[in-house]
Chain A
Amino acid sequence: MTPEQAAAASGRDPAIVVEGVSKSFGPNQVLDGIDLSVAAHEVICLIGASGSGKSTLLRCINLLEPISGGRIWLLGQDVTAPGIDANAVRRQVGIVFQSYNLFPHMTVLANVTLAPAKALRMPRAQADAAATELLARFGLADKRGEYPDRLSGGQQQRVAIVRALAMQPQIMLLDEVTSALDPELVAEVLDVIRELAASGMTMLIATHEMGFARDIASKVCFLEEGRIIEEAPPAELFTEPKDDRTRRFLRRIVDAGRM
């Protein structure tokens, strides 16, 4: 069944379809035939050791990295077709990075309004109002005039999420967004993501927070060496993993006291 047929069968387009995607950096193969489908409003978590390809997969989906093989459909559109407008695709797909990557020379408000104002040509007043509302929703109303280096890591990451949301994306990709945070700051960011999930946002989340993945995901994929080794609902994958490699990975996580 092709993805289009699958979509027709289910009555709606999956938000993300990844088909046989591979990616190499020189001789180093990072993704090796990834197949994955994320339905609209679904939340899927990618787990696996560092270097297993989770981040690269997210960057490929957002067209930040050109893929070496395979195809990717976003909202029913083949975004790997030649001549595709990558900027238009990225406006519909938000991505949040492990290291926040806020623009250090801009205030919080300017960080959030830059893309709506310049890429969507939204009038300044409208962009400011929308940004202020979003910031307020995530408890950042009083930070709008601050520069990023005056904020805690958790606040910076929440601003980064708001910055992505300001483009009103259909899909959010989260790349280990809590990995750079001090432990006591992780919760405030995870709460934001939970709220997003509750609001029906389609999300693909690379994470090391197993408890969080278990709570939020409808499906968890375990990656190793650029391949999806096992994918299952969290209750199944975390309690009775079928593959030895998944079991070994989860054992190490448990031994490290992370689950």
Chain B
Amino acid sequence: MTGDQPDSLAAGLSAGTPAAGFGTAGRGPRLLSGGGRRATVISTASTVIVLAALALVFLAAPGSSQVRHTFFDAHDMWQSFVGNPSKGYYSVGEAIWLNIRMFLAAEVLILVLALVIALIRQSAGPALFPLRVLAMIYVDFFRGVPLLLVMYAVGFGLPALRLSFVSTQSFAVYGVVALTLSYSAYVSEVYRAGLNSVHQSQVAAARSLGLSHGTSLRYVILPQAIRNIVPPLLNDFISLQKDTALVGVLGAIEANQAAQIYGSTVFNYSSLTVAAILFLILTIPLARFTDRLIDRDRRRRLAGAVR
């Protein structure tokens, strides 16, 4: 099984190289205007050379076969992907669904909580001063404390309180709570930047029509603010997808935890590669989608400037 490993690895690399070359080629003419075909050839060639060099270094390293066996063994990758409870390890492929569910739940909660915090911080009027201070302390605190510590505090602290509802949830729920607490602090700042990006004259126009503060916010300010912050928001969510792996420290069987259990049971860490690949499959589409939105915004702004 390990004997054919180098071949399949090499095949994978050579299969990946032209694809990467095409990717660069598509952008080449746009970046190097007038370069045309020559630019395409150069960018493709340089991509091939760089990837080949990296592959060579990897294959020629003294411990290469060891590493390939420990991290890229096809048999172990498959075994860890499908799992085998009778042998004491879980399916990484199944465990990733927990990450996805936690991500989706946390995402919704974060969007709501962060918006509330941002609106409080942006509020005016002396009556709301105490709330503004609290919101500021919240953001400072949860941006400053490592997510891992928040995870431990929530996951082990809340159950220890032995309260009726609060202390009897699953680790996945505590994980979502910790993720929400921490990410809401970041995302509220993103919202705040978005609110500030809407010109004051838009507020004046809305209010001058007799619309209340709340109605202006709901129909005029927020829609424009959110449009402006979609790319940074998605960026935070890409990182949230990965950070669901931290819930593993509580003992929840998510992809990373399942992969580690496989590793310590079978003494082969190809399971971690499987987890990494699964996370990439989740994050790359979101990353490309973000790029497209940024590109669309840029084109729209350019079009607006011409007009």
Provide the residues of chain B in CB contact with A94, threshold 8 Å. 208-209
Q: Which of B205, B208, B215, B227 contacts A118 (CB 8 A)?
A: B215
C-beta contact mask, B162-206 vs A, less than 8 Å → 1, else 0? 000000000000000000000000000000000000000110111
Q: Does B210 belong to the interface (CB within 8 Å)?
A: yes
Residues B220 and A164 in contact, CB atoms below 8 Å apart? no
Residues B208 and A104 in contact, CB atoms below 8 Å apart? no
Q: Which of A43-87 contact B (CB under 8 A)?
A: 59, 62, 64, 87
**Chain B minimum-CB-distance residue to A65:** B204
Q: How near does chain B come to A30, taking the closest CB pair, in angstroms? A: 16
Q: Which of the listed residues B207, B210, B211, B307 has the most CB atoms from chain A within 10 Å of its own CB?
A: B210
Q: Does B212 belong to the interface (CB within 8 Å)?
A: yes
Residues A118 and B202 in contact, CB atoms below 8 Å apart? no
Q: Does B157 belong to the interface (CB within 8 Å)?
A: no
Q: How near does chain A come to B215, taking the closest CB pair, in angstroms? A: 5
How would you classify the secondary structure of chain B's contact residues: helix, strand, loop or mixed? helix
Residues B210 and A167 in contact, CB atoms below 8 Å apart? yes
Residues B224 and A91 in contact, CB atoms below 8 Å apart? no
Residues B212 and A119 in contact, CB atoms below 8 Å apart? yes
Bound form: Cα–Cα A62–B212 in Å: 14
Bound form: Cα–Cα A97–B201 in Å: 9
Residues B211 and A95 in contact, CB atoms below 8 Å apart? no
Q: How near does chain A come to B199, taking the closest CB pair, in angstroms? A: 8
Q: Which of A101, A115, A149 contacts B210 (CB 8 A)?
A: A115
Residues A119 and B215 in contact, CB atoms below 8 Å apart? yes
Residues A90 and B208 in contact, CB atoms below 8 Å apart? yes
Provide the residues of chain A in CB contact with B210, threshold 8 Å. 87-88, 90-91, 115, 119-120, 167
Residues B209 and A119 in contact, CB atoms below 8 Å apart? yes
Residues A164 and B304 in contact, CB atoms below 8 Å apart? no
**Chain B minimum-CB-distance residue to A149:** B304
Residues A164 and B201 in contact, CB atoms below 8 Å apart? no
Q: Does A163 belong to the interface (CB within 8 Å)?
A: yes
Q: Which of A62, A88, A102 contacts B208 (CB 8 A)?
A: A62
Q: Which of the listed residues A94, A102, A104 has the most CB atoms from chain B within 10 Å of its own CB?
A: A104
Residues B212 and A101 in contact, CB atoms below 8 Å apart? no
C-beta contact mask, B207-241 vs A, less than 8 Å → 1, else 0? 11111100100011001100100000000000000
Provide the residues of chain B in CB contact with A216, threshold 8 Å. none
Count of chain B residues with Cβ under 8 Å from any Cβ of A? 19
Also in contact, A101 and B202, with CB within 8 A (given A114-B219, A118-B219, A149-B307): yes
**Chain B minimum-CB-distance residue to A96:** B208
Also in contact, A114 and B209, with CB within 8 A (given A105-B224, A119-B215, A149-B304): yes
Provide the residues of chain B in CB contact with A118, threshold 8 Å. 211, 215, 219
Provide the residues of chain A in CB contact with B304, threshold 8 Å. 149
Q: Does A212 belong to the interface (CB within 8 Å)?
A: no
Residues A101 and B211 in contact, CB atoms below 8 Å apart? no
Residues A103 and B211 in contact, CB atoms below 8 Å apart? no
Bound form: Cα–Cα A118–B307 in Å: 31
Provide the residues of chain A in CB contact with B207, threshold 8 Å. 64, 87, 90
Provide the residues of chain A in CB contact with B224, threshold 8 Å. 103-105
Bound form: Cα–Cα A71–B52 in Å: 79
Q: Which of A88, A99, A115 contacts B209 (CB 8 A)?
A: A115
Residues A97 and B205 in contact, CB atoms below 8 Å apart? yes
**Chain A minimum-CB-distance residue to B215:** A118
**Chain A minimum-CB-distance residue to B202:** A101
Provide the residues of chain B in CB contact with A119, threshold 8 Å. 209-212, 215
Residues B209 and A164 in contact, CB atoms below 8 Å apart? yes
**Chain B minimum-CB-distance residue to A64:** B204
Q: Which of the listed residues B202, B204, B208 has the most CB atoms from chain A within 10 Å of its own CB?
A: B208
Q: How near does chain A come to B39, taking the closest CB pair, in angstroms? A: 34
Bound form: Cα–Cα A115–B210 in Å: 7
**A→B interface (CB under 8 Å):** 59, 62, 64, 87-88, 90-91, 94-95, 97, 99, 101-105, 114-115, 118-120, 149-150, 163-164, 167
**B→A interface (CB under 8 Å):** 201-202, 204-212, 215, 219-220, 223-224, 227, 304, 307
Q: List 20 A-B contacts (CB under 8 A).
A: A64-B207, A64-B208, A87-B207, A87-B211, A87-B212, A88-B210, A90-B207, A90-B209, A91-B210, A94-B209, A97-B205, A105-B223, A114-B209, A114-B211, A115-B209, A119-B209, A119-B215, A120-B210, A163-B209, A167-B209
- What are the 10 tightest A-B residue pairs by CB atom distance, in nearest-first order? A91-B210, A115-B209, A101-B205, A90-B210, A119-B210, A95-B208, A101-B201, A118-B215, A87-B210, A105-B223
Given contacts A103-B206, A115-B209, 4 further A-B contacts (CB under 8 A): A90-B208, A95-B208, A103-B224, A114-B209
